[in-house]
């Protein structure tokens, strides 16, 4: 039987592991996300990933892009909608800053 809380815990554990092993990318992704949000009022993972690819092309090319889930894994971000710019035309979350400080590479 499907247990949402159990699945959420598995997801969070996986993102914690990604965050630990890809700390530089996640930290820079969070900085970029905040910058984009501060200039436009919203941000999505594909926008952040595009900028990361420009800044750190070799690092980004060598990892699975699912590390982007850790960028917005914080109580400081709020999902405010979706757009069809994700991989294979899938919806990507649109995020807005709720406030607070920028967190180190740990889940809160």
Q: What is the pLDDT of residues 49-100, one digit of tens each?
A: 999 999 999 999 988 888 888 888 878 899 999 988 766 778 899 999 987 6
What topology does CATH give the domain 8-97? Arc Repressor Mutant, subunit A (1.10.10)
Q: What is the pLDDT of residues 22-51, one digit of tens each?
A: 788 888 999 999 999 999 999 999 999 999
Alpha helices in the chain (DSSP H): 4-21, 23-40, 45-55, 57-61
- Counting beta carbons within 10 angstroms of the beta carbon of residue 5, is it exposed (0 to 12), middle (13 to 18) or buried (19 or more)? exposed
The pTM of the full predicted model, rounded to 2 decimals, is 0.77
Domain ranges in the chain? Answer: 8-97
Q: Which residue has 């699975």 as its token pair?
A: 64
């Amino acid at each position: 039987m499907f247990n949402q809380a159990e699945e959420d815990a598995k997801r969070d554990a996986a993102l914690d592991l990604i965050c630990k092993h890809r700390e530089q990318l996640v930290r820079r992704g969070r900085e970029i996300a905040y910058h984009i949000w501060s200039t436009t009022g919203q941000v999505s993972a594909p926008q952040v990933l595009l900028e990361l690819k420009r800044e750190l092309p070799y690092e980004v090319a060598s990892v699975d892009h699912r590390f982007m889930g850790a960028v917005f894994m914080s109580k400081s971000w709020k999902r405010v909608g979706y757009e069809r710019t994700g991989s294979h035309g899938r919806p990507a979350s649109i995020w807005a800053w709720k406030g607070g400080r920028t967190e180190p590479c740990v889940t809160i």
